[in-house]
Amino acid sequence: MTEKKIRLSDTEEVLDFVRAAGKCDFEIDVCYNRAVIDAKSILGMFYIGLCKDLTVKYGGNDTRFERTVRKYAVC
């Protein structure tokens, strides 16, 4: 399982991330504190909120999704 930290700062970034996750054929979870949300759920992603360090967990491999995760990565 791969685990990365990201931060989404505005609505467009959330939409971009959810679109990229939706194209993957494996499950992707986004965690913040105790909340675990399906990354393919636009409502779930907005529920978590913006400008927070989020942990993305996934077990598959998709080059396009990896690029999106790197774009929003927290160093």
Go through the domains of the chain in sequence order and give each one's CATH number.
2-71 (3.30.1340.10)
Quote the pLDDT of residue 10: 95
- Map tokens 């990896």 to a residue: 66
35-65 confidence digits (pLDDT tens) = 999 999 999 999 998 999 999 999 999 999 9
pLDDT given for residue 44 in this prediction: 96
pLDDT averaged over the chain?
A: 96
Tokens of 59: 């077990």
CB-based contacts of 5: which residues, under 8 Å, 6+ apart? 53, 54, 55, 56, 73, 74
Q: Cα torsion at 32, 37, 21, 42 (round to 10°)? A: -110
Q: What is the pTM of this model?
A: 0.94
| Average pLDDT of the segment spanning 65-70 | 97
